[in-house]
Structure 1
Amino acid sequence: MSGIIQLLPDHVANQIAAGEVVQRPASVVKELMENAVDAKATEITLNIKDAGKTLIQVIDNGVGMNAFDARLCFARHATSKIRQAEDLFDLHTKGFRGEALASIAAIAHVELKTRQAQDELGQCIVIEGSKFISEEMAVVPKGTSFAIKNLFFNIPARRNFLKSDVVELRHIIDEFQRVAMAHPAIHFQLYHNNSEVFNLPSQNLRQRISGIFGGKTNEKLVPISEETDIVTIQGFVTKPEFAKKTRGEQFFFVNNRFIKSGYLHHAIMSAYEGLLKDGCQPGYFIYLSVPPQSIDINIHPTKTEIKFDDEHALYAYLRSSVKHSLGQFNVAPVLDFERDANLDTPYDYQYKQAVLPTVEVDGAFNPFGDTKPSKTYTGQKKADAAWESLYVGLKQDTDAVFADTLVADPSANEWQQMSGMKFESEAVTSSLFESQDESASVSKTYQLHKKYIVSFIKSGMVIIDQQRAHQRVLYEGFLTSMTVHQAASQQLLFPLELYFSSVELALLEELRPSLVSAGFVFGEAFEDRIVVSGVPVNVTGSEVSIVIEELLADLQQGIPGNSFSQSDSIAKSMARSLAVKTGTYLTETEQENLLDGLFACKEPDVSPFGKPTFLTMRVEDLDKKFSV
């Protein structure tokens, strides 16, 4: 008798598993590169076409597979990493569940070429949607080559959810960097559309980090080294002055496996307490080595979250080691209560040589004579003369002032005679509740708690949020300039060189036309930096790096496809960065200009982010409040 519950076919089960393992091309890159590392490869090459949508190929010189293993590796839960359940708690490899290749083969065209060192011929297997198309012996180099073509060819709905090529490539580079930083001894190469993106030879950890994020990264790093009974901590943190608005350069590795941990991130932030500006994030590259039995890495499908046995001790060790390194390399401020600040050499005299004093002797001086010496300390005489010149005519001026006072106020004469003192009198010309003169100038706006601007209208008053109002004014100004391509630029006297990672430079290159429309002028392009020679009129030279960093942070999750959406996103980001912040004092003129600019906008009611910019309060509403 047939029941309701049935076993799913293998190809359906593989597609369901693929939904967990393969979310985008970067997921395939991660699984294949980790398999290459587990295969003891010393050289790994990643070839990408169309951000992985057309081709993902990983070539390694590892141990390879024989004919039996080459076919069995595409079966579900087939793995060489574990043999029994206890092995799950003593893992020393990247993968272990045996689902990756089966899931990938279910949703793509796969071509596998592999050969072991002792074999003369290798294997070539072609699979399309979990179906074996061909399997034959072939002449192939030692190692393994996986070519994944036409990802999601049989699941068009999943393919439609992929982002633009720039965004998908950024995710691939992220995965590539994580594996490359975890294994600096391996030679990694990355090619996109036959163009070299990374070529990282075997090197030490510091060189590998600098090779990925640019040569300037080396001077930002502060080394960390700590060894305890439960954890060994190695790596680097960045100096506080190089903190950014973004959280891009933050990496945790546990037993050479990249993880994400908000708890450990808080430990780093607490070590930087008092050293960072508001809203800034430090960079760090932390490598933790713990006994495999003390962690559980199988709590998340992507294996980026780990459960530790003793998180509190790990938190304390990590915080103290980072704090110790910052202090050891003179990064953290030091309080020295024994130092006398009065003994410090003034800055202006720091590099000046000491001047030897000179002595002048008057040979004709007779101490028993009646005449004064012809020569004396000339410096002191000149100094006395200079001071005395300040008081020339002071007595006459003072007498004239008191004479005028007596004429203007006769009562002062009486006080002068009674008390024997001379002073100026000041008449009281105002009171607490003085009558308002209609012709007198009255302030039209008032600033409340350096956050709100209050202005009067016929029906009552209007209260404006100064930060949101300024965001609206800047947003519409930037958007208008970018859409009509008439943005004004101001040339910088000294062009700025801004250093970014390769991923950030790729984003900036994609956004270059929109940024030029906004008023930025770029000079010669380099591999690790950009040159800014002109900025919009509302941006100062000191704000350029902040604006671009926050722009990159806002666009980390994706760049809009069409030009108008790009312009809109850039205008919003720049408005957020440059708008006047809460707590900033505004003069009366600045307040009035902000109000005039707000109500000249097309949509003054809301900020670019949909928040209200002002509210009105009528006199009737106030009357109701007082009538209670």
Structure 2
Amino acid sequence: MPDIIQLLPDHIANQIAAGEVIQRPASAVKELLENAVDAGATEIQLIINDAGKQLLQVIDNGGGMSETDARMAFERHATSKIKEIDDLFRIKTMGFRGEALASIAAVAQVEVKTKRAEDSTGTYIEIENSVVKRQEPVAAANGTSIAMKNLFFNVPARRNFLKSNAAEMRHIVDEFIRVSMAYPDIFFSLTANGQQMFHLDRGTLKQRIVQLLGNQYNAKLVSVEEQTDYMNIYGFIGKPETAKKTRGDQYFFVNHRFIKSAYLNHAVAGAFQEMIATDSFPTYVLFIDLDPAQVDINVHPTKQEIKFEDEKIVYAFVQSAVKHALAQFSITPTLDFDLDPTIQQLDAVSKPFTSEQKSQASSSSLYNTFTQKHAAHKIDPQQKSELKHWREFYEPANKSSVDSPQTTVGSADFSLLGSAPKLVLADQDFTQLHQTYIVAATAKGMMIIHQQNAHERVLYERYLAAADGKPIATQSSLFPSTLHLSTADAVLLSDLSDELKQLGYLIEPFGKDTFVIQGTPADFEQGNEVTAIELLLEQFKHYTSDLKFSKREKLIRSLAKQHSIKAGRTLTQKEMKQLVEDLFNCAQPNATSNGFPVYMEIKKDELEKMFGR
């Protein structure tokens, strides 16, 4: 038998490595921007054509490269940042693995123009499929320009897996925001198809946050800054009113590297506890600086997931710093320690607690009940006289009224429901409870329906049908609304415009980052279009972290959640009946698309057991 194991050719090995590093145009954006930062640039331009598929170019005014370095940079594992293994644990730069340029050159046509300040001429190199096609001296400005053309031209199967231009552009904008946010002292610009999307002048971190996330944050940011020997933390958190119902503007940077960490997200959320709703997410842009030896940044190919040597210390420190910032800026509730003078005059304060009073209190059965072990839940029936005032509080003044159904609160509704021999859909009155639940009768008991969950299920199936070829009718807006978005959200809305049209929305671009809402779904309540779209985008971004959903599925779930009748809204009999009827016409009425229950049924015999019958 001949030997069957052989070494892969370099260009194939590079393409396999590229699969880890360059998954889409945005991956190359991240690597090239980080290299420009490492080169000491003060100005970095990103130029995109066709969402990076045709052209992706980064131009910087950094240190540049010599002719030899420019050629060596495209070899696998070529790096200027690691000379021995211990250097891996002292990394302070962004790029360091020596795989990015080699990976890019393996799956694209690359042109490099670079020049150092001390050199009279620069170097031009053209590489295709890992092979240098051309190398020559050239006149060039100080710094480096790397242009990546025709991504995946030699791997058509990979190119076919790329999403729409709008979707790929959204990923590019995300990476651009993450790098430019971390370096407010560097000028960044992003130009796509000849139109400038971002022009970020050098400035403070707060100015950069407002430039990237929107002017609405200008007066709503609170400074965070704490320093210790172990680590420093600084940045900004949004005031509680900026919290969103979905995970929106949250950025963590460790040694200026953007990271994803559910652990640290939890630390920040804990600091906001009881200040924002439990289903809301705070806004923050936080930087942690600590000794690189305390962090392992090699746990993931994209370097966005890291591991701390002591996670508990970092968690506690982050939470403490955020709490301190909130308290310092008088956002957290404060206690008034000035004692009301009248309190001092009360007997309980001014008079001593005598031995006789102490003995009398400790001999009571109520005292014993709460001081004996495992007895806190027990009340001695023989000693109920001590509790008679509490019992009387709950007992009706006229005992006969308990036996009379017509005088009991809600009894008329329940007697009517209880006598109905038909199912919930029978022609009968429903009861709304706490402006959240619909109570109805069944032949065998009663049913409690959560109004928002029920409406979510109804809308989900309606939108699903629309996306499958039964478009929802659009009603034209008498007074079209203008929608102003951040650049990132504008790119996202452009990506969703075709699907939204199928679902009844007619939204047209109207200049940079601005749209006009010309029409909405026929059953949509007019006057709330702008807020509905903003919430929809936030909800969509929340679902985006879940890879198992398609874009269509994420959009449908987002719309169903945002357009559903919320808890707290009073419903008429007509509205309740229509909702229940629509619910039980659904293919799957018992759960929302997220798996939450829509209704619960309580059997008649279970009700009787509750009342000892």
Within a 5 Å distance, the mapping from 1:478-557 to structure 2 comes to: 486-488=473-475, 500-512=485-497, 525=510, 538-539=524-525, 545=531, 548-554=534-540
Q: State the distance in 2 between where 1:96 and 1:614 align.
A: 55
- Residue 221 of structure 2 is aligned to residue 221 of structure 1: yes
Counterpart of 2:534, as a letter, is I
TM-score (normalizing by structure 1): 0.74
Q: State the distance in 2 between where 1:549 and 1:94 align.
A: 34
2:218 partner SS: helix
Q: Is the 1:453–1:591 contact (alpha carbons within 8 Å) kept by the matching residues of 2?
A: no
- Relative to 1, partners in 2 of residues 1:569 and 1:12: Cα closer, same or farther, differing over 3 Å? closer
Residue number in structure 2 paired with 1:369: none
Q: State the distance in 1 between where 2:112 and 2:530 align.
A: 49
Give structure 1 stretches of 5+ with no counterpart: 343-424, 560-564, 623-628
Counterpart of 2:18, as a letter, is A
Q: Is the 2:221–2:236 contact (alpha carbons within 8 Å) kept by the matching residues of 1?
A: yes
- Range with bigger deviation, 193-202 or 544-553: 544-553
Which of 571, 576, 595 does residue 580 from structure 2 map onto? 595
- Relative to 1, partners in 2 of residues 1:508 and 1:438: Cα closer, same or farther, differing over 3 Å? closer
- Relative to 1, partners in 2 of residues 1:203 and 1:485: Cα closer, same or farther, differing over 3 Å? same
- Relative to 1, partners in 2 of residues 1:479 and 1:505: Cα closer, same or farther, differing over 3 Å? same
Q: State the distance in 1 between where 2:419 and 2:543 align.
A: 52
- Relative to 1, partners in 2 of residues 1:283 and 1:608: Cα closer, same or farther, differing over 3 Å? same
Cα-to-partner distance string for 1:406-460 (whole Å, 9 max, x where unaligned): xxxxxxxxxxxxxxxxxxx999897569999999996555679965754435x99
Deviation of the 1:291 alpha carbon: 1.4
Which of 552, 561, 576 does residue 576 from structure 1 map onto? 561
Q: State the distance in 2 between where 1:440 and 1:156 align.
A: 66
- Relative to 1, partners in 2 of residues 1:523 and 1:82: Cα closer, same or farther, differing over 3 Å? closer
Within a 5 Å distance, the mapping from 1:40-79 to structure 2 comes to: 40-79=40-79
- Relative to 1, partners in 2 of residues 1:284 and 1:172: Cα closer, same or farther, differing over 3 Å? same
1:233 partner SS: strand
Q: Is the 2:57–2:146 contact (alpha carbons within 8 Å) kept by the matching residues of 1?
A: yes
Deviation of the 1:281 alpha carbon: 0.7
Q: State the distance in 2 between where 1:65 and 1:437 align.
A: 86
- Relative to 1, partners in 2 of residues 1:99 and 1:452: Cα closer, same or farther, differing over 3 Å? same
Deviation of the 1:48 alpha carbon: 0.5
Q: Is the 2:224–2:325 contact (alpha carbons within 8 Å) kept by the matching residues of 1?
A: yes
Q: State the distance in 1 between where 2:283 and 2:401 align.
A: 62
Deviation of the 1:574 alpha carbon: 2.6
- Relative to 1, partners in 2 of residues 1:143 and 1:579: Cα closer, same or farther, differing over 3 Å? same
- Relative to 1, partners in 2 of residues 1:195 and 1:585: Cα closer, same or farther, differing over 3 Å? closer
Cα-to-partner distance string for 1:466-518 (whole Å, 9 max, x where unaligned): 444322433466678996664347768xx987664211122224445665776
Q: Is the 2:417–2:440 contact (alpha carbons within 8 Å) kept by the matching residues of 1?
A: no
Q: State the distance in 1 between where 2:466 and 2:9 align.
A: 58
Residue number in structure 2 paired with 1:174: 174
Q: Is the 1:446–1:455 contact (alpha carbons within 8 Å) kept by the matching residues of 2?
A: no
Q: State the distance in 2 between where 1:505 and 1:30 align.
A: 21
Q: State the distance in 1 between where 2:417 and 2:215 align.
A: 66
* Percent identical: 47
Residue number in structure 2 paired with 1:304: 304
Q: State the distance in 1 between where 2:335 and 2:284 align.
A: 26
Q: State the distance in 2 between where 1:547 and 1:256 align.
A: 33
Within a 5 Å distance, the mapping from 1:104-503 to structure 2 comes to: 104-336=104-336, 338=338, 431=404, 443=428, 445=430, 451=437, 453-456=439-442, 466-475=451-460, 486-488=473-475, 500-503=485-488
Q: State the distance in 1 between where 2:263 and 2:36 align.
A: 31
Q: State the distance in 2 between where 1:84 and 1:437 align.
A: 83
Q: State the distance in 1 between where 2:277 and 2:227 align.
A: 31
Q: State the distance in 2 between where 1:558 and 1:270 align.
A: 23
TM-score (normalizing by structure 2): 0.75
Q: State the distance in 2 between where 1:252 and 1:438 align.
A: 58
Q: State the distance in 2 between where 1:131 and 1:140 align.
A: 23
Give structure 2 stretches of 5+ with no counterpart: 343-397, 421-427, 608-613
Q: State the distance in 2 between where 1:288 and 1:616 align.
A: 51
- Tell me the C-alpha RMSD between the 2 structures: 4.2
- Figure out how many residues of one structure are paired with residues of the other and give that number: 532
Counterpart of 2:540, as a letter, is D
- Relative to 1, partners in 2 of residues 1:526 and 1:12: Cα closer, same or farther, differing over 3 Å? closer
Deviation of the 1:529 alpha carbon: 6.3
Residue number in structure 1 paired with 2:354: none
- Range with bigger deviation, 462-471 or 28-37: 462-471
Q: State the distance in 2 between where 1:619 and 1:316 align.
A: 51
Deviation of the 1:547 alpha carbon: 5.7
Deviation of the 1:592 alpha carbon: 2.4
- Relative to 1, partners in 2 of residues 1:474 and 1:293: Cα closer, same or farther, differing over 3 Å? closer
Counterpart of 1:553, as a letter, is Q
Q: State the distance in 2 between where 1:235 and 1:437 align.
A: 61
Deviation of the 1:72 alpha carbon: 0.8
Deviation of the 1:218 alpha carbon: 1.5
